[in-house]
Amino acid sequence: MSVKNILEHRNSVRHYDPDYKISPELLASFIESASKSPNGNNVQAVRYLIIDDPQIQKSLLPIAFNQQQVADASAVLVMLGDYKAFQDDNIIQIHEEGFQAGYFDESLRDYLANAAIGYYASKSDEDLRMELTRDVSLAAMSLVLLVNEAGLDTITMSGYDSRQLKETLNISERYLDVMLIAIGKGIKAGHRTVRHEVSKVIYRNILT
């Protein structure tokens, strides 16, 4: 199915077959492909906490305002951003790997690494939070496309209590939780949704 086709036909699914299990290998292959998504300076800050233990999934129910999909989906991914990715040692390491792989020469390695280090050095906490939100969101959309391409269903979710989630799943302040994605086999199609006419969302050159 083409990307266009998925986008035309996908809907968020809220009812899942609780007996359907996605293999860890398939889930890992979705994540491997999603990790190829664009990300700022290639610092690779996106982390994926897979929740597929039925008991832990059940414990998410009160945290996610009793949205049943967290219990019934094959897995719930907690989409995280790792603030540590902005540290110099990570940036240097990643660019060294690119150099070792033969993707660029020493001078581009040093230029890119120094540019990235300088870029993050001037950022406020709020800026860094936005950087993580962008990178995680792009990977999340890739995951949605990949999972739907495989004939499975998804729902992205921000309807949960972040503090309780972090406490229950032992997520430290090192990480920003951006959203959940429930993944599984839908047993009831998501309701269809409207979108603005395209002319309503496009501006050209200057906002009017």
Ligand X SMILES: Cc1cc2nc3c(=O)[nH]c(=O)nc-3n(C[C@H](O)[C@H](O)[C@H](O)COP(=O)(O)O)c2cc1C
Rounded to the nearest 5 degrees, what angle is found at the Cα of 11, between the Cα atoms of 51 and 202? 115
Q: Which is nearer to ligand X, 22 or 157 (CB)?
A: 157
Binding marks (x or -) toward ligand X, 11..30, rule CB under 6 A? xx-x----------------
Structure tokens at 28: 């890992």
Of the CA atoms within 13 Å of residue 116, those in its CB half-sphere come to 24
Among 35, 59, 156, 168, binds ligand X (CB under 6 A): 156
Query: Is residue 179 a contact residue for ligand X (CB under 6 A)?
Result: yes
Instruction: Find, among 141, 21, 22, 14, the residue nearest to 65 by Cα.
Output: 14
> Which residues on adjacent β-strands are paired with residue 76?
51, 182
Which range binds ligand X by CB under 6 A, 19-27, 48-56, 87-95, 153-161? Answer: 153-161
Query: Is residue 193 a contact residue for ligand X (CB under 6 A)?
Result: yes
Query: Is residue 158 a contact residue for ligand X (CB under 6 A)?
Result: yes
Characterize the bridge pairing of strands 75-82 and 175-184: antiparallel
Structure tokens at 143: 């995951």
Q: Please, what is the minimum distance in Å from the beta carbon of residue 1 to ligand X? A: 16
Query: Is residue 81 a contact residue for ligand X (CB under 6 A)?
Result: no
Q: Which residues bind ligand X (CB under 6 A)?
A: 11-12, 14, 67, 155-159, 179, 190, 193
